Copies of this chain bind each other. A is one copy, B any other.
Amino acid sequence: MATTYSVVGKRVPRVDAVDKATGRSIYGSDIYLPGMLYCKILSSPHPHARIKKIDTSKALEVPGVKAVMTADDAPDVPYGTTGQIRDRSFMARDRVRFVGEPIAAVAAIDEDVAEYAVSLIEVEYELLPAVFDPLEAMKEGAPLVHEKIEEYVGSTGMRKGNICSLLTAERGEVEKGFAEADFVVEGTYRSQPINQGYMEPMACAAQVEPSGRVTVWTTTQGPYAIRNTLAETLNIPMNRIKVIPLEIGGGFGAKLRCSFEHFCVILSEKTGGKPVKMISTREENFTAIGPRLECVATIKTGVKKDGSITARQVHAVYDTGAYLGPGVGSGVGHSTGPYMIPNFKAESYAVYTNKVWAGSYRASGVADMVFAVESHMDEVAEKIGMDPLDFRLKNLLKEGDRSLTGEIIPSMGLKEMADAARKNSNWDSRKGEEGWGIGTAFSDWKSGTGPSTATVSLNEDGTVSILTGTVDIAGSDTSLAQIVAETIGVPFEKVVMAKKDTDSAPFNGPTGGSRVVYSAGRTVLQAAQEAKDKVLRFAADLLEASTDDLEVVNERVQVKGSPEKGRSLAEIARLSSTSKYGSIMGQAALSQLPFAPIYNQVIVEIKVDKETGMIKVLKFTQAQDLGFAINPNSVEGQMEGGAVQAIGRALYENYVFNDGKPMNPSLTTYLLPLAPDIPPMDTIMIETGSKEGAFGAKAVAEPPGFGAPAAIANALYNATGIRIRELPLSPDKVRAALKAKNNGG
């Protein structure tokens, strides 16, 4: 960027660094209130059963037990995510549909007593036939997870059997496109169920005051979503609910929605207003809170000999588990990739099975689709004998093209990104030694928007306070403070983010979908600009100058050319607050921001141990077109963190079910990548700006989690000639494929 900035673009330390490093940040489990009770839940051991009877009497007799609740204690209000089928209660009513579904909850004086009481609750079940594989579930005659989905409120397309949602997309004429092609290549790719792997479990506490006011402390990405769901399902007016979001030890989508907050609220009410706290076990994080489930995608692409893609058809089946989760199936929107495909048709089904409902995880369903599409791109390139990277570059989107959803692609850095990644990798100097391979994958995302509000105040000593309801997960508070400091013209240290709750900050969308720095960043910028305008207007009056003749230098408003004529920001704040202008504050509320796509490319180099089948990632080159890095530290952190998660998805992670029973709901058996699994990373930030984001910033967070699985699968093919179309690329699959290849060859 040509402009010189003082604060944005700098590697400032995170505003919460000291508190976090010294253990003083307050997390959900740190909440202790006088008279607090502890909640434990009873969950279903069966994947599908009718509940004939629940007997809680023995549990209630345990000394120290203060209340037991079941679905009968809550209003019978179905809920779901906005725009989705409202297909569930928050506690099983009459029927359980997955192993781990909550059935009852106990509040007691400590966790041991609560757990003992839970063990005494007697439930009589009538077992029902169940279905676990989404393709099986789509078949005629499969056991129905929901018998009457036609009656549910809300919809997204088709409802038939276990199919609860159908998303479609079409452009051009796909049959004509295939007819024009020299080759048509087709493949089916399958991803695995995956847990978000957040370190901090769900932790919340709730207290109902005698006045009916409810306070909820919780570890969440979306305090307003929590408020919304509680208001809707418990029939409490929104402004009587105060949600205090605490520090968050990893969420990745899992903490966008209510987990156990309902139970704490109801149990608090049942105990006459005692605070009730719940910290989930690791097992509950797997079994009761939505992970991601598998996606089976069949992709057919028509291509000319010169490498131009003429058509693509996609058929995707997303397993949504027992309830329709948010945006299940919408990953299909990324099945063109960042390529111009003139003729396109896709259908994406969400299908019920008797497994835990599918939740959110880093752009839900997109990583699955990128694995399919980018594996497939290599297979198409292979077919026409073209370098996989050259093939991609030939079809890349350009400024002025239209996205699948109709937006015009603005000026962006896709080409610069691809050039930089190629240059920084060994793509053009392949080593080719035994077991070595290189592979790439592209991906796209759009900067998240949605509502954000912010207030920026100038204090009477010249410091600045920001108030937003945006939750900081990965350093966004620091970036927002940088934006405000730069805009007002004060040093970074002078800006502080106020702590938030849903009472004190107006409505904000959740922290997810790569929205905070783009969308909330733009909002705080605008609020800061309004505050600065007020500063200048008041100063103009005070200094008898026109606002145009004023500048802020060293925290002082002065007349250009006559620097001795000026007042410090502190003085201006002080004087203004008792003048007719009032206190200096600016405010902004924004929602829909313009289309600002972002792009990512990964190039991995791997070494395959042909004996064990183990893949070792040797080097990870990643480039992303992100507009402008407000805080390069945070951006690199996001990109590298995403890469680590994507490596886990590619090679290790797999949430296994056996007849609907989770087999590895623990961090000893569910394999997250460990430090030795992580290769050296080359992380390239492509800063070509953007028109709408603050200082040119676009989004960062999601795409770094997309590319690795396909890139590694492609590198595996490059190294060994074997193509694995199912995740994870585990040693057993690699060994089996090598064996089959050797037997075949």
| A contact set with B: CB distance below 8 Å | 18-19, 22, 24, 32, 34, 209-211, 213, 228, 231, 237-240, 242, 273, 450-453, 455, 457, 459-461, 463-465, 467, 493-496, 498-501, 503-508, 576-585, 587-592
A24 to chain B, nearest CB (A): 6
Chain B residue at smallest Cβ distance from A82: B574
Given contacts A18-B209, A580-B592, A582-B591, list 8 more A-B pairs with CB under 8 A: A238-B459, A239-B463, A240-B496, A242-B498, A455-B506, A465-B503, A504-B504, A579-B592
Chain B residue nearest to A461 (CB atoms) is B238
19 contacting pairs across A/B (C-beta < 8 A): A18-B209, A19-B211, A237-B461, A238-B460, A239-B459, A239-B464, A451-B582, A455-B455, A455-B506, A457-B507, A465-B506, A496-B503, A499-B504, A506-B585, A577-B591, A579-B591, A582-B590, A583-B589, A587-B587
Contact of A451 among B32, B239, B465, B578 (CB under 8 A): B578
Partner of A495, one of B239, B467, B584: B239
Q: Is the CB of A210 within 8 A of B583?
A: no
Determine if A503 and B499 form an interchain contact, defined as CB atoms under 8 angstroms apart: yes
Residue of B211, B239, B460, B508 near A228 (CB, 8 A) is: B460
A228 partner residues in chain B, CB cutoff 8 A: 460
Beta-carbon contact of B465 and A239 below 8 Å: yes
What is the CA–CA distance of A211 and B581 in the complex, to the nearest angstrom? Answer: 34
* In contact, A455 and B19 (Cβ under 8 angstroms): no
- Residues from chain B with a CB closer than 8 A to the CB of A465 are 239, 503, 506
Sorted nearest first, the 3 A-B pairs with minimum C-beta distance are: A582-B589, A498-B503, A504-B504
The residue from B32, B500, B508, B583 contacting A591, defined by CB atoms under 8 A apart: B583
Residues of B within 8 A of A588 (CB): 582
Within the complex, the shortest CB–CB distance from A291 to chain B, in Å, comes to 27
> Which residues of chain B have C-beta atoms less than 8 A from A576's C-beta?
591
Is B504 touching A505 in the complex (CB atoms < 8 A)? yes
Shortest beta-carbon distance from A644 to chain B in Å: 28
Complexed CA–CA distance, A457 and B32 (Å) = 31
Contact call A457/B592, Cβ cutoff below 8 A:
no
Out of B213, B495, B507, name the residue touching A459 (CB < 8 Å). Answer: B507
A463 touches B237 (CB 8 A): yes
Q: Which residues of B contact A32 (CB under 8 A)?
A: 34
Q: Which residues of B contact A579 (CB under 8 A)?
A: 591-592
Closest B residue, CB atoms, query A530: B587
**Which residues on the B side are within 8 Å of A459 (C-beta)?**
238-239, 507
A578 touches B210 (CB 8 A): no
A239, A451, A503: residue with the most chain B Cβ atoms closer than 10 Å: A239
Report A593 CB to chain B, min CB distance, Å. 9
Chain B residues positioned under 8 Å from A584 (CB to CB): 589
Q: Which residue of B lies closest to A450 (CB)?
A: B578
CB distance from A206 to the nearest CB of B (A): 15
Chain B contacts for A505, CB-based, 8 A: 504
Q: Which residue of B lies closest to A33 (CB)?
A: B32
**Shortest Cβ gap from A374 to chain B (Å):** 32
Q: A237-B494, A464-B239 are in contact. Are A18 and B583 (CB under 8 A)?
A: no
- A467: chain B residues at CB < 8 Å are 503-504, 506
A109 to B20, CA, bound (A): 27
